[in-house]
Structure 1
Amino acid sequence: MSTYSQMFPPKPVFTEKDIPILSGKVFLVTGGYSGVGLEVCRALYHKGGRVIIAGRSESSYTAAVEEIRGNCGDRLTVDLSTPGSLEFLCIDLADLTTIKPAVEKMLENVKRLDVVWYNAGVMVPPAGSKTKQGYELQWGTNVVGHFLLHKLLCPLLTATAAGSEAGTVRAIFVSSIMHTYSPKPYGIDFDSISRDNEKASKMAIWNLYSQSKAGDVLLADEYAKRSVALAPVSNEDPAKKKPHVVSISLNPGNLKTNLQRHSTGNKIKEFLVSMILHEQSLGGLTELYAGLAPETADYNGGYVVPFGRKGSVVSYVKKGLTSEGTGAKLWEILEEEVKDFA
């Protein structure tokens, strides 16, 4: 029933009209110039936010800027005379060497970060596709690249949280309903995630995608624990910690986006899949709900489902997190693997 509810969700309760004015706040969205990320950036910009769009294609960013500025969407009513701003951050998540220099450049003129959406993703690319460093492309992009980016952004997120209203600074890890098809017993086959991995080369491409989406769930859960532990203490009361960064994972929904660009060719399959796909703007609402809704301030370590509701990760992935320490294990592995790029 949970899967059915996510595939055919009720109408959203949280919509663009519920987004407050965001002037003075700073946001970063990976993959923000297309698909669901574009919808997130559109809303943030027209509500007055400073929006940093991270991606590898400046031409795609330029086209997105024209689209965002010229179209506030069907449901958004705002004073267009006072929009926010849009900036490009050139990062290729499939090449770890590009991430630290880009973040260092960003930090020269960005002094706060209120919400980051790790939204970019690769789904079912041609078999054998790899990142620059030799990771299976979906794992390397969806998990490893985002982990390194998050590691480098953590100090700024933590500092922003210390001076902000509790629960308003957030890190959003975009997963998928496909995490429910990730490898058992706990969602990650740890023997298949290293560079140039022979086992990964023999796994089905959809299994690899599902594993990467489970990886996003694990990172969100583990960071939720660590963000509380790492929160700075209050100057007035050293025993009391200041607000921490809220970490959430989510399933944006089954959506009509360019994420399916590699999964075409079978016309019957395409037709059947199209029957369960929703407009990408609704997926944007799921992500905006996780990042901005007042009630999700209490969702640290939680999981959001379409189109803006509290949900639960699949039971066996949850069991790994709670009884087997899979989140901590993955975090420690990735710390070691990205250390030369951090």
Structure 2
Amino acid sequence: MTHLQHAKTTRRLGWRGRLAALGVMLSCVVVTDGALAQRQPKPDWNLADIPSQKARIFLVTGGTSGMGFEDAKALAAAGASVIIASRNPQRGQEAIDRIKQAIPDAQVQFEPVDLADLASVRALGQRLNRTLPRLDGLINNAAIMAPPARGTSADGLEIQFATNYAGHFALTAELLPLLRKSDSPRVVTLSSIAAHIGSIDFGNLQATQVYEPMSAYAQSKLACLMFALELQRRSDAAAWGIQSVAAHPGVAVTELVERGPGLDSIQGRQWSAMRGRLQTAAQGAIPTLYAATAPQAQGGAYYGPIGENEIAGPLGLASIPAEAGDTVVAARLWSITEELTGTRFPAPGH
């Protein structure tokens, strides 16, 4: 199917239709051999199972609201020192105040970053490399979803590709020296069940020919999943010592729709009608927290809810789209992203 055909098909589907179609696709998804070897997590794993994170340092992007906020709060409650990285200092302070109200001795701070501006990403990396002794965990959480009109980042990239994927790619590279100073560093990258309806379209990677909001979002989240899996492969090959894990929240009630297509859109109205069947932000954060803290979590794994269509339900190994396991496509995407972002991960042996 060409990108144009895919875009036309996606436009004909409402939100419910997309989820129904996704359910069919999940039933016949191809799972990579590596995923088949992974151990299933305890299905009822919850916040009480988080081991002590005392003396560990985490950075959470997009930690001012939604699942990122829940991640930051839970990690702080477990004793970690948490850095919330986001665009808005006022919302950052509000998030810190809310966490400290619930956890008076929480160690939490705010750092400004705009993932859609690579200069801002590099500046954050430079600040943290100067001030932190190490970084034990990086949670690549921040995202935007399906804005009606195509937008561009400060560097000319399609805004969802830039914010959801390329900014996190560059941030991970910037923070790699700090991560390698940790005894057991983890990078957790958030994908989505939308990755199953995505495809990496190298001929229209920045949606300059055709822009369909949900297709662009799905592509960005597929790219995030491919990045997480490729990062583990490269860490193994180059002995970086990084444990790279992917997670998705199912479908959770957050600000994504409100800030994307809008609550008055068709998707917004359908979203509102389905709210009672969806995950809360706290529930949606469980796969990420497992990936970030559980001793049993494995590098190269993909965790999420495994109920009907993976929208909600108990924790388990999520279904991996066939394209996400294509190492040739993943390597090509990695190389192109290095060029687009001016970012270089160290070569093997360095």
- Give TM class, smaller chain: 0.7 to 0.9
Determine whether 1:97 maps to 2:119. yes
Identity of aligned residues (%): 31
In the TM superposition, what whole-angstrom CA distance separates every residue of 1:240-291 from its partner, at most 9, and x where no partner exists? xxxx211111211210101111232137523443243211101111110111
In the TM superposition, what whole-angstrom CA distance separates every residue of 1:40-60 from its partner, at most 9, and x where no partner exists? 100111111110111111000
Determine whether 1:253 maps to 2:254. no
- Offset, 1:132: 1.1
What residue number does 1:338 align with? 341
What residue number does 2:15 align with? none
What residue number does 2:321 align with? 314
* Aligned residues between the structures: 299
Structure 1 stretch displaced more, 220-229 or 12-21:
12-21
- Offset, 1:12: 5.0
Contact 1:254 1:276 survives alignment (8 Å): no
Determine whether 1:28 maps to 2:63. no
What residue number does 2:277 align with? 276
Contact 1:14 1:293 survives alignment (8 Å): no
Alpha-carbon distance change, 36 to 268 in structure 1, aligned in 2, over 3 angstroms: closer
Determine whether 1:142 maps to 2:142. no
**Where in structure 2 are the equivalents of 1:228-247 lying within 5 Å?**
228-231=236-239, 244-247=241-244
Contact 1:249 1:303 survives alignment (8 Å): yes
Determine whether 1:221 maps to 2:200. no
* 3-state SS, counterpart of residue 134 of structure 2: coil
What residue number does 1:198 align with? 208
Determine whether 1:328 maps to 2:331. yes
Determine whether 1:300 maps to 2:307. no
Q: Distance in 2 between matches of 1:113 and 1:43?
A: 17
**Where in structure 2 are the equivalents of 1:73-92 lying within 5 Å?**
83-92=105-114
- Offset, 1:150: 0.7
Alpha-carbon distance change, 105 to 294 in structure 1, aligned in 2, over 3 angstroms: same
Alpha-carbon distance change, 63 to 249 in structure 1, aligned in 2, over 3 angstroms: same
What residue number does 1:211 align with? 219
Runs (4+) of structure 1 moved beyond 4 Å? Answer: 1-4
- Within the candidate set 30, 33, 50, 2:81 is matched to 50
Determine whether 1:64 maps to 2:95. yes
Aligned partner of 2:302: which letter?
Answer: Y
TM-align CA RMSD: 2.5
Alpha-carbon distance change, 203 to 143 in structure 1, aligned in 2, over 3 angstroms: same
Q: Distance in 1 between matches of 2:272 and 2:112?
A: 36
Which structure 1 residue ranges, 5 or more long, are not aligned? 73-79, 233-243
Aligned partner of 2:330: which letter?
Answer: G
Contact 1:97 1:341 survives alignment (8 Å): no
In the TM superposition, what whole-angstrom CA distance separates every residue of 1:290-340 from its partner, at most 9, and x where no partner exists? 1111111xx22121112532223123433x23xxx1111111111112227
Aligned partner of 1:31: which letter?
Answer: G
Q: Distance in 2 between matches of 1:30 and 1:48?
A: 19
Contact 1:249 1:301 survives alignment (8 Å): yes
Aligned partner of 1:339: which letter?
Answer: G
In the TM superposition, what whole-angstrom CA distance separates every residue of 1:190-233 from its partner, at most 9, and x where no partner exists? 12225xx522xx2311000000000001101110011112226x
* 3-state SS, counterpart of residue 203 of structure 1: coil
- Offset, 1:127: 0.8
* 3-state SS, counterpart of residue 317 of structure 1: helix
Q: Distance in 1 between matches of 2:76 and 2:181?
A: 23
- Normalised TM-score (structure 1): 0.81
Contact 1:118 1:173 survives alignment (8 Å): yes
Contact 1:41 1:51 survives alignment (8 Å): yes
Q: Distance in 2 between matches of 1:152 and 1:268?
A: 40
- Normalised TM-score (structure 2): 0.79
- Within the candidate set 191, 212, 219, 1:175 is matched to 191
Q: Distance in 2 between matches of 1:310 and 1:84?
A: 31
Aligned partner of 2:193: which letter?
Answer: I
Determine whether 1:189 maps to 2:201. yes
**Where in structure 2 are the equivalents of 1:102-181 lying within 5 Å?**
102-160=124-182, 164=183, 168-181=184-197
Contact 2:150 2:211 survives alignment (8 Å): no
